[in-house]
Amino acid sequence: MTRKPEVTGFFDKRTFSIQYVVADTEKRCCAIIDPVLDYDPNSGATGTMNADHILRFIAEKGYKVQWILDTHPHADHFSAADYLKRKTGAPTAIGEKITEVQKLWNGFYNQPEAPADGSQWDRLFADGDTFEIGGFEARVMFSPGHTLASITYVVGDAAFVHDTLFMPDGGTARADFPGGDAGELWQSIQDILALPDDTRLFTGHDYQPGGREPRWESTVAEQKAGNIHRAALEGRENFVSMREARDRTLPMPRLILHALQVNINAGRLPEPEANGRRYLKIPLDLLPDAKWA
């Protein structure tokens, strides 16, 4: 039998995010995907509870961390990539189109001096790039639509599809963030569903439809057969029409303006000011057409 990577998901109930450790159990090596840095917008407090829980799991397993990977610049949570790099020494990576997101959002935050070359990460992946996690070859698929920079990591029989597809009862991701595009999202989903039917798909969020317990693993075959948006997925025009109409009914994520300034900087919090305190910058009336929460 072909070996399969071990995949362990860690659900953050505050942001409905799933963080992953994908491991080669024989070589005792792993990568961390989409880790969450805890943030409470009500108090402004930050924490490392999620990341520390992942580190304890890795220590108990005796794994060496080879990579800290983000699939895209998240709009609903802070990335813990910088914290985990400082803890493990492992390199960080994201898709190469992050530079386009940096240019866009640096303008929104009025920070023209901020780097927009992706130098905050150790590696920027292009479509088709490969790298290793233990004895497994990992392959990168460019998967834009939800964001300009979204990528999918395929490791053995496992694909980490971030915010393109949710669980079949959750449908598909929105495409109305700055730089998003429903047509590109449709094509990205087609590319993912062209993987072998038994490919395990691991999604980036689960909003627990109907109040069920969180779930995050499906297969290509299950998505083809049971995704609630499957009828629209059969044609680009139908999908774009459905997706754009649905997105107009959705308020922006609560943390989008908080998170992007951190996540386009590889999870680094703003530098402390003269009083030793860090401050986030929130542009007012940037998204005037967004539905109010």
φ/ψ of 254, rounded to 5, equals: -60, -30
Please report, for the chain, the start and end positions of each structural domain, with discontinuous segments joined by +.
Answer: 6-205+215-253
* Mean pLDDT computed over every residue of the chain: 97
pLDDT value of residue 233: 86
Buried b / exposed e over 183-220, threshold 16 CB at 10 Å, is bbbbebbeebbebeeebbbbbbbbebeeeeeebbebbb
pLDDT value of residue 180: 96
Average pLDDT over residues 244-271: 97
pLDDT value of residue 2: 83
pLDDT value of residue 229: 96
User: Which tens digit of pLDDT belongs to each residue from 6-46?
Assistant: 999 999 999 999 999 999 999 999 999 999 999 999 999 99
Residue 119: band (very low, low, confident or very high) from pLDDT cuts 50, 70, 90:
very high
Find, among 84, 99, 97, 72, the residue nearest to 31 by Cα.
84
Average pLDDT over residues 58-65: 98
| The dihedral formed by the CA atoms of 110, 114, 116 and 118, expressed in degrees to the nearest 10 | -140
- pLDDT at 1 exceeding the cut of 70: no
Question: The domain 6-205+215-253 belongs to what CATH superfamily?
Answer: Ribonuclease Z/Hydroxyacylglutathione hydrolase-like (3.60.15.10)
Give the whole-angstrom CA distance, residue 82 versus residue 6.
24
pLDDT value of residue 204: 97
